[in-house]
Structure 1
Amino acid sequence: MLDALTQRLSSVVKTLRGHARLTEENIQEALREVRLALLDADAGLPVVKEFVARVKEKALGQEVVGSLTPGQALVGVVNAELVNLMGGVGEGLNLAQQPPAIVLLAGLQGAGKTTSAGKLARLLTKTTKKKVLLVSTDVYRPAAIDQLATLAKTLEVDLFPSDPSQKPVSIAANALDWAKKHYYDVLIVDTAGRLAIDEAMMAEVKAIHAALNPVETLFVVDAMQGQDAVNVAKAFSEALPLTGVVLTKLDGDSRGGAALSVRHVTGKPIKFVGVSEKLDGLEAFHPDRMASRILGMGDILSLVEDARSRVDEKEAQKLADKFKKGKDFDLEDFKAQLQQMKKMGGVASMMDKLPAQLTQMASASPDLGEKALRRTEGIINAMTPQERRKPEILKASRKRRIAAGAGVPVQEVNQLLNKFEQMQKMMKMMRTGGLAKMMRNMKGMLPGMR
């Protein structure tokens, strides 16, 4: 995600090495790099001009006095201005009204409206415990209604049935009536899109908006369209009283121009971003966290939130209780930890949230990917319950049987057991306080540790 932009902006610090302070002369080359990085990222020229001017003004002002190095000072200013460019603070949905709160999704065909409707329903159901109803008013695109029905069934979210023979405004009005009578908290309305902006589409979505008077009108746009995305967003913001933007397919956009420009052009906040094709791949948008990612500093806050939402607390507590009783970490526990990692999508799903240096280290560890985790779990599944509880009984003949059962070479079984033994030692040290003692002994040996 946004890899090209991150790489270009990361090089800015290098251009200022050897300088004692920021001056009009030495900042020019660095700002040129910033300008080229943004243009290459497909950010609009007016946006880039204004951004660079603001960075120059602040970098040469009082805000960099006392900073460690000119490069770090400039990165600090660029970070602050990126945050401002993308909206300053994250803005969530405004659902504080008489239920049901209506959320209307609009946008072009192929932007990901239907998928975003399902993902948003899942997000609201899981994080805010809202009772959500989905409805599709797209009577034109073949199987559009069926697609939302399939999503709703998979996500276990209620769907108001609709039919291609019905009028979109009637479907919307009937869904609202049903939502009121059945005490739903939120009604999410998926509207029809076209391959391009046309008067008929705009007139229809305006009529649906007038009939429902939604509290949130979200424009859904494909980040990979670059400047086209910004132009379409502008057209929709002129036609509808938008309250926010959903930027989809950000995981496939290495440039990031749309993320940087859409708020500036429309004046509407980006409220959600699509970060993967999975049904949990919709995240609330935080400008400060995105700026941190762009500058290669990672997004640890979002990473922690992901872990909290996906990790099974009961399983974690079960392992903690086992340790308290003095029992050893066994292969069943190891398997449980692998399953937790799988729930998070392996290290690959965390890559864009890790700082740049850690991302490089993680990418060099292929055994932590989702596919490798499944393979390791398959080896453990080929063992008997007794072998998982007592790995010390695994001799050559048992290893050959396990390898055959899992469809892997015996070397892979040995590699797994070696990793398990390392983890088992670490768990023992944590239980006995040995890890803390080891860390204390290391103080003074490593730079930066106090």
Structure 2
Amino acid sequence: MIDPRRITLLNNCRDASGPVIYWMSRDQRVRHNWALLFARKKAEQLQQPLKVVFTLAPSFLNAPLRHYDFMLKGLHEVERALRRLNIPFYLVQGEPEIELPRFAREMKAGAVVTDFSPLKISREWKRRVGAHLPLPLYEVDAHNIVPCRIASAKQEYAARTFRPKIKSLLGELLTGFPQLEPLEATTESHPVDWSSISCSLKADHRVAPVEWLKPGEEAAANCLDTFLEKRLSSYAELRNDPNSGVLSNLSPYLHFGQISAQYIALRVSESRMPDESRSAFLEELIVRRELSDNYCFYNDRYDSFDGSPTWAKESLMNHRNDHREYLYTADEFATAKTHDRLWNAAQLELVTTGKIHGYMRMYWAKKILEWSESAEQAFETAMALNDRYALDGRDPNGYAGVAWSIGGVHDRPWFERPVYGKIRYMNASGCARKFDVARYIARFEEKKSM
């Protein structure tokens, strides 16, 4: 049973006679996917075939090769898994607002189903597609455990205001998933020419794919198993130590929708690990992650310093002319050429691995604020670096993380100090109290010299 609160009709059309299309976008998986399950059920109700299509935009917010490589390899796995269920998969290249309506016309579709994203670019695609389709366009929130529209009707001030709303609904919405049944008859579709697709990409090849993390739904499931077996037990105690290796490494898979957050939450909740560790992880997976979706959905300026709360903007404006001991250009930040070896190590971690440890990402962003000419410039620099190198870039978590570190989003005013104003401060000595800073630096300085 699919909770109807997950489903939103984005236009005013009614179901017609013809195949049901699942326009896969944010949730790039076959298992534990409410949008695909809804499309399958809709096809069954209408007694029509089901087809899955992915529209590959020529550029998605300037994503480099690292991101396209991870995504396309995951989609190749999706194609194989769907074939085993007799569900055809199509990949079309071009602008989604043009290609999706064209595809629907060619298939003589009766309804289109897609998944939820709070990002402006995705919402605009859907607005344009919905306006041009003479068919219903259903949106299903398959990414959040508590659907974003249901969790709150407004931008939440902080986790403390959002948490009670989420927890009041978890008992109803944190459920298991029905089995995705195969289609009875095979609908023929030509296999995707993945080699040709890869060669046609115009993405920046200077940001190379990572080798340490394998993409795809199977790899995501294995990563979760390993985390539950070997690292979750120490999560509460060691999660702020970047040398401990206790993090889940699931954020790239969550970003590309190669694993379901709801499925992860169920597995963690059912595990026999210490309550403290389970609670700490679920707070980040559910409350903090879904708060980020809330921020992006209700604040169209989420990717700009302008989206920051008034108190933060006023405070930083008052300290705009404060003396900065160090100032760096965007290129110096990108190439890790600051005076601070700890910050440089964090940037090298980002560039070489495609991620920064969560605690270090806060330090990394706050120092960009401290060493930039303005908060606006700092916000732009941090966002650009995160989106260019992080596998989970262009994600609500990344936008909210930078906005928290630099713009005080979801935080409160702190004691006033130069440059930072009332924005929460972090320094290297605070990091040294939490973990072996020299060990962390050595790991990534070694990578730079290789």
TM-score normalized by the length of structure 2:
0.25
Taking CA–CA contacts closer than 8 Å with sequence separation of 6 or more, which of the two structures ends up with the larger relative contact order?
2
Tell which structure's C-alpha radius of gyration is larger: 1
**Hey, which of these two has a bigger chunk of helix by percent?**
1
